[in-house]
Each structure stands twice: as C-alpha cells, then as structure tokens.
Amino acid sequence: QLHLQESGPGLVKPSETVSLTCTVSGGSISSSSYYWGWIRQPPGKGLEWIGTNYYSGRTYYNPSLTSRVTVSVDTPKNQLSLKLTSVTAADTAVYYCAGGYTFDYWGQGTLVTVSS
C-alpha cells in the first residue's frame, strides 16, 4: 500500500514561485506503468488537474497552467515535485499529489495560501 505525503510552504507571496514535494513510501515511484500527478482544490471549489508524469517519462500539463508549471520525479529520493511560478491569489488551494494507474493513491493534501 503506497503512502503519499505532501510538503511545502503554507504561505507564498504573489509573483513568487511555490515548490511542493510529495514523498512516496511503501513502494517505488519508478514502478512500471504507474503515473504520478498533482491536483489542486481551491477553497470550497472542485478538483483541478495540474499535471502528470508518466512512467515513460513524458509529462502532460493542464493547458491553462502549462506556461507556469513543472512536474518532475526524483527517483533516488522517491519523490514527486511541483513548481508553480508567478503565483496569484487564484492559486490559493489545497494541493494533492496522487499516483497509481488511475490516481489510486492520494496524499492528504497541503494548503498553499498566496498572500502578501
């Protein structure tokens, strides 16, 4: 059973870059056929897919975020990371990492607030 845990700053200033890390335990992030991604949820709103890194190495991003987002996998550390640049208040959300064949496994989420 995989366990995912997000970590990162809770508060970020507008225009800055937010970097989040997801540590995977109970299995290898390089498991064949698995893919890993980030999803966010603004307060009181629905789920928004951010991006996914496939086991093949290819990465896909939400078209609305592609110019500002990078999702990458650090195999030796068994970690998934997210980098989102030029943040605004609209980026305030709970950020989840998820993985598996169909996002079978989710982290508990970490709240990122964008405020000066």
- State the minimum distance, in angstroms, from the CB of residue 26 to other proteins: 16
When asked if residue 44 is in the footprint of other proteins (CB under 8 A), the reply is no
- State the minimum distance, in angstroms, from the CB of residue 52 to other proteins: 6
Q: How far is CA 1 from the centre of its chain?
A: 20
When asked if residue 43 is in the footprint of other proteins (CB under 8 A), the reply is no
Residue from 84, 107, 112, 114 touching other proteins (CB under 8 A): that is 107
